[in-house]
Amino acid sequence: MEKVRVVVADDHPIVLMGVREMIERDENFEVVGEAHSSSELVALYRELRPAIAITDFNMPGDQTYGDGLKLIEYLLRNFPDTRILILTMLSTPLILSSLYDLGVSGVILKNGDLNEILVALKALAQGRVYRGPGMQSANSVLASKDDVDGRIASLSAKEYEVLRHFVSGMSVRDIALLLNRSVKTVSAQKVSAMRKLDVDTDQALLTFCVKANLFQ
């Protein structure tokens, strides 16, 4: 029987090695390529046309493909035949549910059991969407607005994306260029996120994100 072709993308070599070793335990799957950035991943898609791609959510990107939601949307739009399995440290319910809404076929948390990868791959190979134990909270956003989790859960996916890049050191103008949005739109999304998080200065915003471990 022909093996299912898989490509893996992550900017950490140790993660790549661990995922490859896990996949190679099952004779039904074959890792045909590895990528360390979004550009490399897109190149693998075009060259190899894999059946399944396992990719980190946060990766070094560029102005063409970016990473996060922008990269995922690009891959789903341009390579609809390849099923996407996200491997991530993110645990925010809104973002996890947003990934499924976009059309990814599965999400696995990096701090979970890597054996879950093979379970997910088998589900995807059978045409099913995979929701593992770590995804149970992805079905509902926290209701409380009085605690940190409640405030984070109130962020929209696009606001979260803007904050992630802002905390990494990018200016509003740089974020707008990267995400292909207007400066006015990005600025409004940042202000809206600050209001939801109940912070009123850039320093307070950075402090909140660090203390909440929002972007691990």
Whether residue 168 is found in the same domain as residue 116: no
SS3 content of the chain, % helix, strand, coil (to 5): 50, 15, 35
Cβ(96)–Cβ(68) below 8 Å: no
Cβ(56)–Cβ(14) below 8 Å: no
pLDDT band at 216 (very low <50, low <70, confident <90, very high): low
Confidence check: pLDDT of 143 > 50: no
Name the one residue in this structure whose structure tokens are 């915003």.
205
Q: For 69-79, how does the pLDDT look when each residue is reduced to its tens digit (9 = 90+)?
A: 888 889 999 99
Whether residue 132 is found in the same domain as residue 157: no
pLDDT band at 94 (very low <50, low <70, confident <90, very high): low
Does 216 map to a domain?
no
Q: Which residue type, as a one-letter code, is found at position 138?
A: A
Name the one residue in this structure whose structure tokens are 């993308």.
9
More reliable by pLDDT, 72 or 113: 72
Give the separation between CA 150 and CA 24, rounded to whole angstroms: 40
Whether residue 91 is found in the same domain as residue 115: yes
Task: Identify which of 47, 10, 8, 55 has the alpha carbon closest to the alpha carbon of residue 31.
Answer: 8
Residue span of the structural domain in which 82 resides: 4-139
Whether residue 132 is found in the same domain as residue 33: yes
Q: What is the CATH number of the domain that holds 181?
A: 1.10.10.10
pLDDT band at 144 (very low <50, low <70, confident <90, very high): very low
Name the one residue in this structure whose structure tokens are 């970016």.
66
Cβ(49)–Cβ(81) below 8 Å: yes
Whether residue 164 is found in the same domain as residue 101: no
In the chain, % of residues over pLDDT 70: 90
Query: Which runs of E-coded beta strand occur in the chain?
Result: 4-9, 29-35, 52-56, 83-88, 106-109, 130-131
Whether residue 51 is found in the same domain as residue 30: yes
Whether residue 98 is found in the same domain as residue 193: no
